[in-house]
Amino acid sequence: MILFMETKKALPILFAIMFLVMVGFGIIIPVIPFYAEELGATPTQLGLLMAVYSFMQLVFAPVWGRVSDRVGRKPVMMIGIIGLALSFFLTAVSTQLWMLFAARIIGGALSAANMPTAMAYVADITSDEDRGKGMGIIGAATGLGFIFGPAIGGIFSQASLATPFYLAGISSLLTFFFVLFVLKESLPAEKRNQQHGKKRNSFYKEAFKSSTSILFFLQLFISLSLAGLEATFAYFAAEKAGLGAVELGYIFMIMGLVQAIIQGGFVGKMTKKFGEGFVIQLGIIVSALGFALILFTNNFLTAALFLTIFGVGNGLIRPSVSSLLTKTATSGHGSATGLLSSFDSLGRIIGPPLGGWLFSITIGLPYISGIILSFIALGIYQVYRQRAHLGHAETR
């Protein structure tokens, strides 16, 4: 009963925090390419500017997840949010390209604390039965933040290209104080430091020796397919349906809203009734169907419908994987979610150039490869299920 009351109070607060974090992050998305171009960035340098952020997240997400297992979730989350604020303000005052790179490196390294710590927080305060619901709420907050943030950034960029970065910095600072004064710590002192004293190599050895490590690779293939789509869909829709930036903005907004509704309202109910495994497999199959349908895009309506079908499938997967992982991992919630975020970042680093290269061969190839990657992920889940079943049988 106590856990239920704590969950009921904390989840809406955590939803608000992650929504504000992602709004701040989303504000800069439509602006940063033009801002970098104004400072003399070439297309290649712009690609590196985007990649370096994901690379820092790849490196530091497991570190922050592990730190949160030792010192608690709240201080690590505060570090991540203040890191975002710092990177936004540094970007706003950048006058040379190297300063922009420095800001992105700092932002990537520190903000890598946010997502794994938020997921670990959910795992701390939810029962196994309600874990999927909690992870879905985090996903919904993230999705809604990415919908409203870019819209706000686009509006305020009309004043100047630096204005959205100041706005994002102020938003992050307000979120920092919201965490400081409103959010309660979820990890009691007696449950901390369990990983303290273990060598780094020992930690990774433990993390990868169990069947749960297979879920990291499943997430990698899902992220690869998603990142490839995100990098190429604008060009594909322009070629196949003559859609421009405004229409694409509406399409991604529709997909994001539907995805947030699915994650916030249905993932928890589905995982409680059918289990995470069923929802993961359903999500992968629906994503593959979405990829296949996208190939038949020929106007705004079909683009919106087919991309939304893909988005529904994709929206089912991440919260369910996070929920399943934190139920079965032995290395601490923060350590497990940190590694999951790291694999997600790896997919987002490799996915865009891979998608672009496939697109250059033939425009439908990124989506055909998305179907293939989805079925590889489905196969990986079958391997996980078999190993988990064998492991359970051996412990009897």
The full set of domain ranges for the chain reads: 1-181, 203-396
The residue type found at 288 is A
The pLDDT, as a whole number, for residue 372 is 97
CB 367 within 8 A of CB 240: no
Is the pLDDT score of 378 beyond 60?
A: yes
The pLDDT, as a whole number, for residue 187 is 86
Q: What is the mean pLDDT of residues 232-254?
A: 87
Between the two ends of the chain, the Cα-to-Cα distance in Å is: 30
Identical topology for domains 1-181 and 203-396? yes
Tokens 């490799």 identify what position? 350
Q: Per-residue pLDDT tens for 162-215?
A: 999 999 999 999 999 999 999 999 888 877 755 444 555 555 565 566 678 899
- Average pLDDT of the chain is 87
Q: Could you tell me the pLDDT band of residue 394, with boundaries at 50, 70 and 90?
A: very low
Q: Could you tell me the pLDDT band of residue 148, with boundaries at 50, 70 and 90?
A: confident
How does DSSP assign 325-385, residue by residue?
A: HHHH-SS-HHHHHHHHHHHHHHHHHHHHHHHHHHHHH-TTHHHHHHHHHHHHHHHHHHHHH
Q: How far is CA 258 from CA 158, 177, 254, 313, in A?
A: 29, 31, 6, 11
CB 112 within 8 A of CB 56: yes
Is the pLDDT score of 252 beyond 90?
A: no
The pLDDT, as a whole number, for residue 207 is 59
Q: Read off the tokens for 115.
A: 């997502």
CATH fit for domain 203-396, picks 3.40.470.10, 3.30.930.10, 3.40.50.2300, 1.20.1250.20? 1.20.1250.20
Q: Per-residue pLDDT tens for 12-40?
A: 999 999 999 988 888 887 788 888 888 88
Q: Per-residue pLDDT tens for 291-329?
A: 999 999 999 999 999 999 999 999 999 999 999 998 887
* Pairwise CA distance, residues 137 & 122, whole Å: 9
Is the pLDDT score of 129 beyond 80?
A: yes
CB 359 within 8 A of CB 234: no
How does DSSP assign 36-69, residue by residue?
A: HHHTT--HHHHHHHHHHHHHHHHHHHHHHHHHHH
* Pairwise CA distance, residues 269 & 273, whole Å: 6
The CATH code of domain 1-181 reads 1.20.1250.20
Q: Could you tell me the pLDDT band of residue 287, with boundaries at 50, 70 and 90?
A: very high
The pLDDT, as a whole number, for residue 2 is 41
CB 347 within 8 A of CB 318: no
Is the pLDDT score of 112 beyond 90?
A: yes
